[in-house]
Amino acid sequence: MTEKAFIIQSSPHFQDKDSVPKIMLTVIISLLPAVAASVYFFRLRAIGLYVSCLLACYVTEAIFLWVRKKPFQSLWDGSVMITGLLLAMTLPPTLSLELAVIGSVVAVAIGKQVFGGLGHNIFNPALVGRAFLQTAFPVAMITWLPPATLAVDTATYATPLGNLKFQEAVVQGTLTPIKQLFWGNTGGCIGETSAIALLLGALLLLTKKTIDWRIPAGILLALTAFTGIFWLAGPDRYASPAFHILAGGLLIGAFYMATDMVTSPIHPKGTWIYALGIGIMVGLVRLFGGFAEGMMYSILFMNTFVPLLNRTFRPHILGERRKTS
Amino acid sequence: MKTKTFPRGIHPPEGKGSTNEKRLEFLSPPEKVVIPLHQHFGNPAEPLVKKGEEVFLGQKIGEATSLFSASVHASVSGKVLSVDGHNHPLGKPVLSVTLANDGEDRMHPEWEETEDPLALEPDQIRKKVKDAGIVGLGGAAFPTSVKITPPKDKPIDTVIINGCECEPILTADYRLMMEYPDEILKGAELVRIATGADRILVGIEDNKKKAFDLLQQKAAPYSADVFLLKTKYPQGAEKNLIYALLGREVPREGLPFDVGVVVQNVGTAKAVWDAAKTGKPLYERALTVSGDGVKEPKNLIVRIGTPFQVVTDSCGGLSKDVNMIIMGGPMMGLSQWALDVPVVKGTSGILAWSSPKPITEFSCIRCGRCIEHCPMGLVPTQLMKYVKYEQLSDAENWGALDCVECGSCQYSCPAKIPLVHWIRLGKSQIMSQKRKKSAK
């Protein structure tokens, strides 16, 4: 035979340069403006939450990979960092660091690794961690602080949505102004307050097509329609859709959490159902539920439908039905 | 002008620049050729010659004994050195005739010229095509005589001439269109006569605008319309091309016959004309030798049976770091482990480059890009999972057998999952299950 043997591989022999770590890196970069905003508004408390969440997530992931005898590559693909960042961003600034660590362990262990690691989880890991904290430590999870930039002389502070729900802010005329929500100079989970920072990152995700535009579009559409109807019927009792979009975790959820590729549908039809479902449910919870905010539970709830949606909808196979020209 | 196209697909780097403007050169036949008796879709041909026999150029040395087969002809004149197994680009040894070239290209005396091939009857055209051993030169090597014999109950109205050459890097079809436009159009006309179609449509991607202009200028006398198609892979895949040009969907598991269409590659059309006009059998073909590892990339017309080594040597040889040799295009071509294999009728290109270390595979993150790009409307990631977990009936229901293995899914997969490989495995498992069932 000839002196040199060549590589044998199955076609195709060309591959696009994009890869899972690159996608994850894009998401991380897109989160940076909001991370910066949270540090600006909540200072050391924000930094503490980020450090403890990231450390705890990485350690948990590493332990699980070691126990499951899996390669350590998923430590470097960026997915753990996203989970850690997103979890920290959705925690209140008052939360003690031990609880942040507990939430992180649950997020990675129960949210991701028990399903088999990256790509196999049903629920968004960060939200699983957050939901656990909300259930186990309900008081700690709704104790808020005003941002460091706001000169208010109170130990605790209500979020714009809490204010709306429990203090009849519309009737009292104390609703947080849209401008404040837009810049993020208000109370809330550390990463959710600044709409402008979140939208900046979202722009990157949308232009690089890292996320499916249908998901935020569907959520915003459904929420606008739902809250819009009530607002038009009774502007003296209900907040406007613009308020609902900018307040609370709506934007961070719609652009960064509901869009998690692993836990959202793959077919456009399924994606629309999923996104509209989230939007309507958020509206329902905010207007009629017991909680001030419904984003987390709405996403988790619709996550459960994803396997079903993926099995129900599939594209039209070429030649499936006959066309005549 | 508005270009036609099909839904989905991908845009891989074209890489055609290094050979686009290089004219086709005739590669002088080597001292020894190895001609496999199985170079086509279907059954192998039966050998007609024995060791020691003298053969003419173009003499039939392998006979197609069944319908789905094609005859094989000597590509040089000279002496039969052996008739035995030899490495084949498809990866396993195939019964092959090795000829020592006497360098004289003595033509077979039975070649017959036809004064006016366009006056031939359909049956006569079919016979000439069959005698010439013509197969589809786009790569699949399906016997052309079968393709131009539509079943009685399936009337054909359109012949499509495929000038897409959507595979990156390859430029041989483009050169054929630029240098042999009349032969291609006349060959298309013969196919039209043989199939009883009313019209000819030629489809060319818009990165080959010059070829489009040239063919359009020449098309008038042949009831042919030339169309510009969007440059997108796999524009030249039969079913997608039919959809792009006519909006007709070939039914699942069906053939172009079912929608009244016959598709022929430009090279095949030229071969049909040559066979009808001069009686010349298919013993040479155009191909592109290119890729970063080839010192002087070229478009060549090469005798069938020429070893790859001879072809690459004629292109200045390969650079030292080459570790991949591909027969065909980068998307659907077959990787070769050695250069001792011969050029066969399906060799549309010989590519060489140095391949970087493969990137680690990740878990599927369900990004959906494979679905976004699959030209057949499949869900490759789901098919991969069904095959992996041996749920073959699910794989079949979700269209595994509709996969044309174009590679668009795997190209766009950020997790670098060998999707095509999984689906191919599933297809072969489903087929073998079916065979077992029908055997019972």
ipTM for the predicted complex: 0.86
Q: For residue B319, give how far its alpha carbon lies from the nearest alpha carbon of chain A (Å).
A: 13
A177-216 pLDDT, tens per residue? Answer: 888 888 988 889 999 999 999 999 999 999 999 999 999 9
Is the domain of A222 the same as that of A298? yes
Residue B311 covered by a domain? no
B21-56 pLDDT, tens per residue? Answer: 999 999 999 999 999 999 988 889 999 999 999 999
Q: Nearest Cα to B64, choosing from B47, B49, B77?
A: B47
Residue B197 covered by a domain? yes
Is the domain of B240 the same as that of B385? no
Which residue, of B278, B312, B341, is where some domain finishes?
Answer: B278
Task: Find which of A4, A10, A205 to mutate to test the B interface (most B CBs within 10 Å of its CB).
Answer: A10
Please, which pLDDT band fits residue A171 given cuts at 50, 70 and 90?
A: confident
Distance CA A146, CA A157 (A): 6
Q: How many CB atoms lie within 10 A of CB A166?
A: 10
Which residue, of B259, B278, B297, is where some domain finishes?
Answer: B278
Distance CA A77, CA A61 (A): 12
Helix (H, G, I), strand (E, B) or coil at B109: coil
Residue B348 covered by a domain? no
Distance CA A37, CA A47 (A): 11
Flag the least confident range among A89-93, A311-315, B187-191, B415-419: A311-315
For residue B390, pLDDT over 70 is answered with yes
Is the domain of A132 the same as that of A181? no
Strands B349-353, B261-265: pairing kind? unpaired
For residue B403, pLDDT over 50 is answered with yes
Q: A13, B365: Cβ pair inside 8 Å?
A: no
Is the domain of A293 the same as that of A182? yes
Is the domain of B168 the same as that of B274? yes
Is the domain of B258 the same as that of B122? yes
Which residue, of A102, A136, A170, is where some domain finishes?
Answer: A136
Given A11, A261, A262, which is nearest B407 (Cβ)? A11
Helix (H, G, I), strand (E, B) or coil at B326: strand
Helix (H, G, I), strand (E, B) or coil at B227: strand
Is the domain of A35 the same as that of A129? yes
Total domain count, chain A: 2
Is the domain of A92 the same as that of A164? no
What's the alpha-carbon Rg for chain A, to the nearest Å?
21
CA distances from B220 to B186, B189, B263 (A): 12, 12, 20
- Determine contact, residues B331/B234, Cβ cutoff 8 Å: yes
Total domain count, chain B: 2
Distance CA A161, CA B183 (A): 76
- Determine contact, residues B127/B230, Cβ cutoff 8 Å: no
Residue A317 covered by a domain? no
State whether the Cα torsion B337-B343-B347-B351 is positive or negative. positive
Domain span at A214: 158-311
Q: B330, A13: Cβ pair inside 8 Å?
A: yes
Distance CA A241, CA B359 (A): 46
Domain span at B256: 117-278
Q: CATH no. for residue B171?
A: 3.40.50.11540
**Which pLDDT value is given to residue A154?**
63
Which residue, of B278, B307, B326, is where some domain finishes?
Answer: B278
Given A6, A20, A316, which is nearest B323 (Cβ)? A6
Residue B195 covered by a domain? yes
Residue B356 covered by a domain? no
For residue B95, what are the β-bridge partners? B85
- Determine contact, residues A220/A154, Cβ cutoff 8 Å: no
Q: Residues of B numbered 308-337 whose beta carbons fall under 8 angstroms of chain A's beta carbons: which are they?
A: 309, 322-326, 330-337
Residue A104 covered by a domain? yes
